[in-house]
Amino acid sequence: MNKVLLNSWRGRLAAAALAVPLFAVLGPVPAQAQVLIEHTASGDVEAALGGIFKAIEDNKLEDAYNRVNALLVARPNYRLAYLIKGDLLLARGAAISKMGAMPGAPADKVSDLRAEALQRLRAYREKPPVDQIPRYLLQMRADQKHAVVIDTKKSRLYVYANDNGRPRFVADFYMSHGKNGIDKVREGDQKTPIGVYYVTSYLPKAKLADIYGNGAFPINYPNDWDKRQGRNGHGIWLHGVPQDTFARAPLASDGCVALSNADLEMMGKSIDPGRTPVIISDNVEFLSQDDWNTERQSLLKAIDDWRRDWESRDTDAYLSHYARDFEGDGMSLKEWAVRKRQVNAGKTFIKVKLGDMDMFRYPGTKKEMVVVTFQQDYQSSNLSNAMKKRLYWIKDGGTWKIVDEGAA
Amino acid sequence: MTFSFGSGSGPGTSSGMHPAGKIALRLLFAALFAFGAAGARADEIADIGKLLKAGQYDQATSRVDAYLASKPKDAQGRFLKGLILTEQNKTAEAIAMFSGLTTDYPELPEPYNNLAVLYAGQGQYEKARQALEMAIRTHPSYATAHENLGDVYAKLASQAYDKALSLDSSNSTAQTKLALLKELIGTGNRARVVGTQTAAATPVPAKGAPPAAVTPPPAKAGPPAVTPTPPAATPTPPAAAKGDDAEVAAAVNAWANAWASKDVDGYLGAYTKDFKQKGESHGAWAASRKQRIEGASSISVKVSGLKVSFTDANTAVAKFRQDYKSNITSANSSKTLVLTKAGGKWQIVEERSGG
């Protein structure tokens, strides 16, 4: 649909150019045509772009021109809007055959803006399904008021609120990511990591170079799973854009996630450093409430089975919950088994309570994976402790198994 | 900006959309009989036109000023005056002249066109576009205005591209030069296109605008160009003002006195520290003023008909007639000063000749 739209630019504008004498008599742009856009979300920009492209499709070029001027009043440094304005002006003189029709316009820059237009129009026309839930957000903790979900393929960042345990869509924003795409592995590869992260802190504008815009939220890349995969690098942030531009191209950063400054500030209201999860995926799937519940229940049952088998001191039953390629506390499954048999042998009882749990499906893994974090209260005949624990569960042969266990 | 005289096309025609395209410079210079003026009047206008064509600007100026003294509202006299000012590179005054014509005679496309040419010369393409669209709104088949508008669109497109792609084409882009119309309601372009373009033109007339270009313009019943009107400016003594008005009047008088007494520091001090004109730096502007004041052995400046209005509490607009005489030259013109108040002092931020 969006492709059709952008391709139709050609025919429409060529046709439109024929109508130049017609719209030259329409007179100057009336000042009152400049409807100010009030909100700060990028959604307003997409609605404006949607209106502009609709006007172009309908061959209402004067209307499109007025709309693009209004957008530029609201967003003075909006390069994409300037490009469209330039093309609309060119179209008054001669048929133009493509977006960015000015002879000698640098192809790479035009292509960046065209990509941004496509992404924004796609987002405008394909809103996230409000009654569905991103598959990643299986369970949020009570103190996690919001979660951030990023779809790199769509250049989109979604904010969900925790509505009594059920994620509720709040807002979505256009975002840019790494010049070289996704699946960050190494320092300097200019890629954006795929995974489940947390915002660790906040850096205000005053402490930042202009390139980061109005603020930055660092995330905990590389996390435990990344380190286990041998990934390195650091300094992946969600941040703003330089003051001389409203937005950056879809693929523009050194691996960070960049939002328009107004959007960053709006998103920032939902972020609680140390708590807010940030899930970066290249393809966000949405589930119906029922399917979401089914997935949750299946996983919750697996976790509870593991807990009860641990309490039962039946070490074989307990070990049946671990995957063959398990690693934990630097041990392989074999070493882990030896240790657990020793420990359990000397106990007359074990009691395990789990609380404050979150569960997030992990994007981009070969086998389905979920990362679960909780407060673990362990009591036994000879040892008791309380700790924050993190388990990675994978779907192995149709059942959920632990592939990694450690302190969170 | 340069203009060449003669009818028909000037050097080069529009090369279309390229930002650095060379722009048509078409000037028309024909007899100005449109208002069906009486013989003597028409002769005078024609004579002034010849002086202008011959480059005799001083003579043309004094003749047209004399003509306008008896007929201050006369469209053709004012149009000619605008052309003379344009030739003399007195852009601000020329803009004021054509601008006044568009206010008093909104149905005439030529002043709009020429206003657009002057705006474009200053790099004010959005204003140029609006003026040209007004010209076309009144006369949809006006070829010169269309061509000029095409060039302005190209320039605006180029500017939009610069911003879109963060380019700096300021030194690679030639200044757009548009076709100045040398003729008010003539028989040249405006009439010539009638046969070819109006036939094909869309049946959508501009709202509220008569399709005037189709027929030779009739004598307008509207503005009484023929009737002499008494001079508009009745002297108002600055003393009549009070409060802020009086402060602004005092500032204007102090400025005129400093100028007349060749007090360069006092004169320059009447302007804000960053006052600029015609794209010159403050320093360059101040240097040229200093030179001009010191170059004259005697100066007299008389301010009359001062009227002060306020855009806001700290911005005042002072309009008056300025009678300037020196051993070198003399000029009686209307002047507008925009003053701003800072630190309890009114200073000039903008200075222009004309309304």
Indicate whether B236 pLDDT > 50: no
First CA to last CA distance, chain B: 23
In chain B, what are the domains? 39-214 (1.25.40.10), 238-353 (3.10.450.50)
Name the domain boundary from A125, A159, A182.
A125
Q: Which two structure tokens, joined as six digits, stand for A219?
A: 């995330």
- What's the pLDDT tens digit per position in B179-205? 777 766 543 344 332 222 233 333 333
Selection from A176, A190, A288, A280 nearest residue A233 by Cα: A190
The residues, ordered by sequence, that sit 6+ positions from A199 with a Cβ below 8 Å of its Cβ are A148, A217, A218, A219, A238, A271, A272, A273, A274, A275, A276, A278
Residue A201, phi-psi category: left (phi > 0), alpha (psi -120 to 50), beta (remainder): beta
Inform me whether the pLDDT recorded for A344 exceeds 60.
yes
Same domain as A282, residue A138: yes
- C-alpha distance from B118 to closest chain A C-alpha (Å): 18
Give yes or no: residues A60 and A114 share one domain.
yes
pLDDT of amino acid A275: 95
The total number of structural domains that make up chain A: 3
Cβ atoms of B270 and B351 within 8 Å: the answer is: no
pLDDT score of B153 more than 50:
yes
B166, closest residue in chain A (CA to CA): A79
Confidence (pLDDT) at B174: 45
- Three-class SS string for B44-76? HHHHHHHHHHCCCHHHHHHHHHHHHHHCCCCHH
In angstroms, the separation between the Cα of residue B191 and the nearest Cα of chain A is 18
* Set of chain A residues whose Cβ sits within 8 Å of the Cβ of B163: 79, 82
Please report, rounded to a whole number, the percentage of residues in chain A having pLDDT higher than 70.
90
Q: Are A174 and A155 in contact (CB under 8 A)?
A: yes
Do residue A27 and residue B134 have CB atoms under 8 angstroms apart?
A: yes
- Helix axes of A61-74 and A79-93: crossing angle, nearest 10 degrees: 150
Residues A14 and A97 sit within 8 Å (Cβ to Cβ) = yes
Question: Which residues in chain B are contacts of A110 at CB distance < 8 A?
Answer: 165
Q: How far is CA A122 from CA A126, A155, A188, in A?
A: 6, 10, 30
**Cβ of A28 under 8 Å from any chain B Cβ?**
yes
Same domain, A103 and A93: yes
Q: How confident is the model at residue B231 (pLDDT cuts 50, 70, 90)?
A: very low
Question: Are residues A58 and A191 both part of a single domain?
Answer: no
pLDDT tens per residue across span A233-277: 999 999 999 999 999 999 999 999 999 999 999 999 999 999 999
pLDDT at B331: 76
Indicate whether A357 and A333 sit together in one domain.
yes
Q: Which residues contact B12 (CB under 8 A, 6 or more apart)?
A: B22, B23, B24, B25
Lowest mean pLDDT among A284-288, B8-12, B154-158, B348-352: B8-12
Q: Is B348:B272 a contact under the CB 8 Å cutoff?
A: yes
Spatial separation of the C-alpha atoms in residues B65 and A303, rounded to whole Å: 98
Nearest to B217 by CA among B9, B7, B32: B32
If asked whether residues A74 and A156 sit together in one domain, one would say no
Mean pLDDT lowest for which of A18-27, A70-79, B310-319? A18-27
The distance of A26 to chain B (nearest Cα, Å) reads 6
Per-residue pLDDT tens over the stretch A279-298: 999 999 999 999 999 999 99
Q: What Cα–Cα distance (Å) separates residue A251 from each residue in A119, A123, A151, A181, A240? A: 11, 16, 13, 7, 14
Encoded tokens for B15: 């090369």
The minimum CA-CA distance between B193 and chain A, rounded to whole Å, is 14
Q: Quick one: average pLDDT of B52-66?
A: 93
Nearest to B82 by CA among B67, B66, B98, B70: B98
Residues of chain A contacting residue B201, judged by C-beta atoms under 8 Å apart: 21
CB A165 within 8 A of CB A293: no
- Kindly state the helix (H) or strand (E) to which residue A199 belongs, with its residue range: none
> What share of chain B has pLDDT > 70, as a percent?
67
Query: Does A403 score more than 60 pLDDT?
Result: yes
Using an 8 Å CB-CB cutoff, list chain B residues near A85: 156-157, 160, 164
DSSP strand pairing (B315-326 vs B299-312): antiparallel
Task: Please say if the pLDDT value at position B39 is more than 70.
Answer: no
Averaged over B10-22, what is the pLDDT?
32
Q: Could you tell me if B270 and B254 are in contact, meaning their C-beta atoms sit under 8 angstroms apart? A: yes
Q: Determine the pLDDT at residue B326.
A: 80
Q: Residue B30: pLDDT band by 50, 70, 90 thresholds?
A: very low
Residue A311 clears pLDDT 60, i.e. is over it:
yes
| Residue percentage of chain B with pLDDT more than 90 | 26
The average pLDDT across A8-12 equals 39
Q: Which of A125, A147, A176 is the last residue of a domain?
A: A125
Domain endpoint, select from A101, A125, A149: A125
Q: Do A260 and A313 belong together in one domain?
A: no
Q: Which of B14, B17, B169 to mutate to test the interface with A (most CBs of A within 10 A)?
A: B17
**Residue bearing the bigger pLDDT, B122 or A15:** B122
Category of B354 on φ-ψ map: left (φ > 0), alpha (ψ -120 to 50) or beta: left
Per mean pLDDT, which range of A326-335, A378-387, B183-192, B194-203 is the poorest?
A: B194-203
Nearest CA in chain B to A79: B164
Which two three-digit tokens encode residue A379? 């009591």
Contacting residues for B186 by C-beta, under 8 A, at least 6 apart: B28, B30, B31, B32, B34
Side chain identity, residue A56: I
User: pLDDT value at position B112?
Assistant: 93
Residues A279 and A161 in one domain: yes
Pick the range with the lowest mean pLDDT from A131-135, A335-339, B34-38, B135-139.
B34-38
The pLDDT, as a whole number, for residue B224 is: 34
What letters, b where the CB count within 10 A reaches 16 and e where it falls short, cover A342-359? eebeeeeebeeebeebbb
- Inform me whether the C-beta atom of residue A105 falls under 8 Å from chain B C-beta atoms: yes
Q: What is the DSSP letter of A200?
A: -
Q: Give me the pLDDT at residue A140, please.
A: 97
Three-state SS for B79? helix
Mutate to test the interface with A, among B161, B162, B193, B196 (most CBs of A within 10 A): B161
DSSP code, position B315? E
For B160, the closest of A24, A86, A109 (CB atoms) is A86
Give the pLDDT mean for A306-333.
Answer: 95
C-alpha distance from A282 to closest chain B C-alpha (Å): 28
Same structural domain for residues A70 and A87? yes
Q: How far apart are CA B225 and CA B331, in angstroms?
A: 25
What is the domain-level CATH number for residue A278? 2.40.440.10
Q: What are the CA-CA distances from residue B322 to residues A195, A325, B253, B301, B355 (Å)?
A: 75, 94, 11, 7, 12
Residues of B whose CB is below 8 A from A109: 164-166
A67 in B contact zone (CB under 8 Å): no
Q: Report chain A residues whose CB lies below 8 A from the CB of B133.
A: 24, 26-28
Looking at chain A, the whole-number percentage of residues with pLDDT higher than 90 is: 75
Q: pLDDT: is A240 or A57 the higher one?
A: A240
Same domain, A258 and A325: no
CB pairs under 8 A between A and B: 95
Partner-chain contact B136 A113, CB within 8 Å: no
Question: ipTM exceeding 0.95?
Answer: no
pLDDT classification of B90: cutoffs 50, 70, 90:
very high
Verify that A335 and A191 share a domain, yes or no: no
Residues A205-213 have a mean pLDDT of 94
Among B87, B142, B85, residue whose Cα is nearest residue B109: B142
Average confidence score pLDDT of chain A: 88
Cβ within 8 Å, pair B137-A83: no
User: Do A379 and A273 belong together in one domain?
Assistant: no
The DSSP result for A247-303, as a single string, is: ---SEEESS-EE--HHHHHHHHTT--TTT-EEEEESS--EE-HHHHHHHHHHHHHHH
Q: How far apart are CA A48 and CA A137, in angstroms?
A: 31
Question: Cα–Cα distance between B140 and A24 in angstroms, integer?
Answer: 8
Rounded distance, CA A324 to CA A139, Å? 26
Residues of B with CB under 8 A from a CB of A: 16-19, 129-130, 133-134, 136-137, 140, 146, 149-150, 153-154, 156-161, 163-167, 201-202, 204-207
Q: Average pLDDT of A308-321?
A: 96
- Could you tell me the residue range of the domain that residue A26 belongs to? 2-125
